[in-house]
Structure 1
Amino acid sequence: MIRTETAAGVRSIILNRPKEYNTITPGLRDALAGAVDEADADPDVRVMLLRADGPAFCAGYGLDWSTEAQAAEGDWDSAKDFRLMKSFVDVYMKLWYAAKPTVAAVNGWCLAGGTDLVLCADVIVAGEGASFGYPPARVWGTPTTAMWVYRMGFEQAKRYLLTGDEIPARRAAEIGMIAEVVPDERLQEHAMALASRMALLPGNQLEMLKLLCNQTAENMGFGASRTLGTFLDGVARHTREGRDFVARAADVGFRQAVRERDDPFGDYGSRRREP
Structure 2
Amino acid sequence: MTVTSTLRDDGILVVTMQHPPVNALPVQGWFDVAAALDVAATDPAVKVVVLRAEGKGFNAGVDIKEMQNTTGFDALIGANRGCFAAFKAVYECAVPVIAAVNGYCLGGGVGLVGNADIVVASDDAYFGVPEVNQGALGAATHMARLVPQHLMRTLYFTARTIPAAELVQHGSVYAVAPRAELDDLALGLAAEIAAKDGRVIRAAKEALNGIDPVDVNHSYRFEQGFTMELNLMGVSDELRDTFAGTDKAGGAA
TM-score by length of structure 1 reads 0.80
In structure 2, the partner of 1:61 is 62
| 1:198-247 CA distance string (max 9 Å, x none) | 11111121122222222233x43434312211212223445454232134
* Runs of 5+ unmatched residues, structure 1: 260-267, 269-275
Matched, 1:133 2:128: yes
Correspondence list, 1:61-100, <5 A:
61-69=62-70, 72-73=71-72, 85-100=80-95
Which has the higher relative contact order, 1 or 2, with Cα contacts under 8 A spaced 6 or more apart?
2
Correspondence list, 1:60-209, <5 A:
60-69=61-70, 72-73=71-72, 85-144=80-139, 146-209=141-204
Bigger radius of gyration: 1
Secondary structure (helix, strand or coil) at the match of 1:147 reads helix
Number of positions where the alignment pairs a residue of Structure 1 with one of Structure 2: 248
Q: Structure 1: how far apart are the matches of 2:242 and 2:22?
A: 22
Conserved? CA contact 2:28–2:82, under 8 Å:
no
Q: Structure 1: how far apart are the matches of 2:79 and 2:18?
A: 23
Secondary structure (helix, strand or coil) at the match of 1:178 reads coil
Matched, 1:233 2:227: yes
Secondary structure (helix, strand or coil) at the match of 1:173 reads helix
RMSD of aligned C-alpha atoms?
Answer: 2.5
**Structure 2 letter corresponding to 1:140:** G
Correspondence list, 1:229-268, <5 A:
229-239=223-233, 241-249=235-243, 253-255=244-246
In structure 1, the partner of 2:14 is 12
User: Which is further off, 240-249 or 22-31?
Assistant: 240-249
Secondary structure (helix, strand or coil) at the match of 1:105 reads strand
Conserved? CA contact 1:59–1:112, under 8 Å:
yes
Displacement after TM superposition at 1:40 (Å)? 3.2
Q: Structure 2: how far apart are the matches of 1:153 and 1:137?
A: 19
Identical columns (%): 22
TM-score by length of structure 2 reads 0.87
Q: Structure 1: how far apart are the matches of 2:171 and 2:191?
A: 23
Secondary structure (helix, strand or coil) at the match of 1:152 reads coil
**Structure 2 letter corresponding to 1:13:** V
Matched, 1:2 2:3: yes
Q: Structure 2: how far apart are the matches of 1:172 and 1:66?
A: 31
